[in-house]
């Protein structure tokens, strides 16, 4: 209950405080590339209940139909402003709406698409007892995920066999240490990483 109240309070404050940023990003996306401002994708939620995840659109319109489900560094589908939004994680801001709605928590295992969840069904039966999160241990450890996939002969196979299995391992680790104090620590480390991204051109 405390975790949920904290999620609602902090997400509400975050949405109000970032309203000017939302407005600015919206204008820049409209100017930069034709298509919707937001990107919607079906993800698997708590207790295997699917939900629609919100992000600022960082790729060309209909990109999901033109390539892999994952994004690799240097992906030509990424727009000019999209590169910046992804690098600074500002594209994730609309997920605060998912938190308010109850689809997600501020901290919890990152939500995956159904196709990948089904590959590790038994693991996710345990993991999805928790609400998916905007950030988690995997987000901290693999902030440069796209660069890790870059240059791989088959990025999707590498993602499924290595990165996704690592995310599952870290999700289970989080479940063991889950507490209000550890959630605060993960949130602070996430902010630190975001600020670092703002201040540097490369990871």
Residue found under tokens 């609400």: 131
Domain count, the chain: 1
Residue 74 domain boundaries: 2-199
pLDDT by position in tens, the chain (length 203): 889 999 999 999 999 999 999 999 999 999 998 889 999 999 999 999 999 999 999 988 777 666 677 888 778 889 999 998 998 889 999 999 999 999 999 999 999 999 999 999 999 999 999 999 999 999 999 888 888 888 888 989 999 999 999 999 999 999 999 999 999 999 999 989 888 877 765 54
Q: Are 50 and 42 in contact (CB under 8 A)?
A: yes
First to last CA, the chain: 36
Residue found under tokens 């345990």: 126
For residues 23 and 25, give the distance between their C-alpha atoms in angstroms, rounded to a whole number: 6
CA dihedral 8, 116, 73, 187 (to 10 degrees): 20
């Amino acid at each position: 209950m405390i975790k949920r109240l904290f999620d609602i309070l902090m997400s509400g404050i975050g949405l109000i405080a970032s309203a000017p940023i939302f407005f600015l990003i919206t204008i820049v996306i409209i100017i930069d590339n034709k298509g919707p401002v937001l990107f919607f994708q079906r993800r698997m939620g708590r207790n295997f209940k699917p939900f629609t995840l919100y992000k600022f659109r960082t790729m060309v319109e209909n990109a999901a139909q033109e390539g892999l489900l994952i994004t690799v560094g240097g992906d030509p589908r990424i727009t000019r402003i999209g590169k910046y939004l992804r690098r600074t994680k500002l594209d994730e801001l609309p997920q605060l709406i998912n938190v308010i709605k109850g689809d997600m928590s501020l901290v919890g295992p990152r939500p995956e698409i159904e196709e990948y969840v089904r590959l590790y069904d038994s693991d996710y039966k345990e993991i999805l007892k928790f609400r998916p999160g905007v950030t988690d241990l995997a987000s901290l450890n693999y902030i440069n995920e796209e660069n890790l996939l870059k240059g791989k002969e088959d990025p999707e196979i590498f993602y499924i066999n290595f990165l996704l299995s690592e995310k599952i391992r870290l999700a289970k680790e989080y479940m063991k240490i889950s507490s209000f104090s550890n959630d605060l620590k993960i949130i602070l480390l996430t902010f630190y990483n975001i600020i670092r991204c703002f201040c540097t051109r490369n990871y």
